[in-house]
Amino acid sequence: MELLAIIGALITLAGSIFLLLGAIGLLRMPDSYNRIQAGTKASTLGTILSFAGILLIMPGWWGKLLVLIISVIITNPVSSHVLARAAHYMGVPLTKTTLVDKYREEEEYIAVKDQNNEST
Amino acid sequence: MVETILTIAAGIMLLSLILSIIRFIKGPCYTDRVISFDVMTIASLAIIATVAYLTQRIIYLDIAMVYGILSFLGVLVVARYLERGL
Amino acid sequence: MQIKNILVATLIGFIFWVLLNNTLDPLILAIGAGLALILALLFCARCNVFSELKVTPAAFGYTFLYLGVFLVELVKSNLDVASRVITPSLPINPGIVEVKTHLKSRMGRMILANSITLTPGTLTIDIHEDTLYIHWIDVQTEDKQGATEKIVRKFEKYLEKIYG
């Protein structure tokens, strides 16, 4: 029992280190999209790991911790996707080393189509 | 033993919260600020869960749940506003 | 079709109620079942998302297999991005590529897009018909076919079995 608790505590510690790496990535990355990549994703795994560690320490709390893990897994990708689309729509610039931007052509195509629909 | 490791873990989480506050203040455009707000929320969810064990109160987990859902809605509303206005 | 949709939504709501309450008291279970049915009737009567779900033993098996594959990918790519973050020279070459998916159902596409977003290094920006626009932190190939092979294929071969 004691061994399981110590393993759980170490998993929580690993999760907190992932959270710290996510925050460092948030500071170091050059543009918004890369910040979303480094920030929200690494911290998702960190949070899941720390909930799993608490789950190993206190097995009696499994119901609420499971609901928390599921809600983090469902809500997090949605919010980062919505933020990325809003940033691209606002015209937040990509960093200088970016290789391709296939999405901009598509966006211009949609804009032209909308204008045609409004004028007719 | 377990309490010591968990206290260190909570300290590291707090450090990541402080680092994302720096990005929140510096961030050149709105989306950067919303991203760092999102990261701060996720880090505080982990802190709340750890503190719930350290004080032995299961009710804190309900607070974490409600906080997570509310901040998700907040991010959605702000992103939608930035995209095409309310 | 409509009945199956409402039943699946009720089941999901009921499971969440049991997880939150953490008891097996018959009165509380009855209240939860009633509430879940009312909420499913209110919110899922018109949007028929769950009616595309296949309920067969094979689909169940592949769901668990998919969860395992997904967790392994999650940890692997997290370590990859973490090592990029702490390298002093910051070795990234980002870009937005387009990939194609074979999945037809909306539920399958949503789960595919969310899985791509959750594995760090790739981020779904938009989905238009069967084309996904993905921000990739380390662009290895700009070509549509090659990117599809590299990003989508590993998830899609399981999701095809589950959602068709």
Residues A48-91: tens digit of each pLDDT? 999 999 999 888 888 888 999 988 888 888 888 888 888 888 87
In chain B, what are the domain boundaries?
2-84
Of the listed ranges A94-108, B50-64, C107-121, the least confidently predicted one is A94-108
CA distance C5 to C1: 6
Domain that holds residue A28: 2-93
A10 part of contact set with chain B, CB < 8 Å: yes
User: Could you count the other beta carbons within 10 Å of the beta carbon of residue B56?
Assistant: 8
Q: How far is A41 from chain B (nearest CA, A)?
A: 9
CB atoms < 10 A from the CB of B76, how many? 15
What's residue C43's pLDDT? 81
Instruction: Tell me how crowded residue A85 is: count the other CB atoms within 10 A of its CB.
Output: 21
Quote the number of domains for chain A: 1
| Any domain includes A120 | no
Report yes or no on A64 lying in a domain. yes
Number of CB pairs < 8 Å for A and B? Answer: 163
By C-alpha distance, which of C64, C76, C66 is closest to C120? Answer: C76
Domain membership flag for residue A35: yes
Asked, for residue A41, whether it belongs to a domain, the answer is yes
Q: Is residue A104 part of a domain?
A: no
For residue C144, pLDDT over 80 is answered with no
Compute CA C34 distance to the chain's CA centroid, rounded to the nearest angstrom. 28
A-chain CB neighbours of B38 within 8 Å are 39-40, 79-80, 83
Alpha-carbon distance of A55 to A63, in angstroms, equals 9
pLDDT on residue A99: 64
| A79 and B76 Cβ atoms separated by less than 8 Å | yes
Q: Is A37 on the interface with C (CB under 8 A)?
A: yes
Which tokens in the block code for residue A75?
Answer: 């809500």
Give C27: exposed, middle or buried? Use CB within 10 Å, 0-12, 13-18, 19+.
exposed
Copy the structure tokens of residue A77: 């990708």
Check if A42 contacts B (Cβ < 8 Å).
no
Subunits next to C (3 or more Cβ pairs <8 Å) are: A
Chain A residue with Cα closest to C21? A63
The answer to whether residue A36 sits within a structural domain is yes
For residue A21, tell me if it sits in a domain: yes
Taking CB atoms and an 8 Å limit, are A61 and B58 in contact across chains?
A: yes
Reported as a pLDDT band with limits 50, 70 and 90, residue B86 is low
- Asked whether residue A103 is assigned to any structural domain, the reply reads no
Of C111, C116, C108, which is closest to residue C73 (Cα–Cα)?
C116
pLDDT tens sequence across C4-54: 788 888 888 898 888 888 778 889 899 999 999 898 888 877 776 776 666
| Residue A73 contacts residue A55 (beta carbons within 8 Å) | no
**Cβ pair A21:C86 closer than 8 A:** yes
Q: Which residues of A touch C128 (CB under 8 A)?
A: 106
The total of other beta-carbon atoms located within 10 Å of residue B42's CB is 28
**What is the interface pTM, i.e. ipTM, of the complex?**
0.87
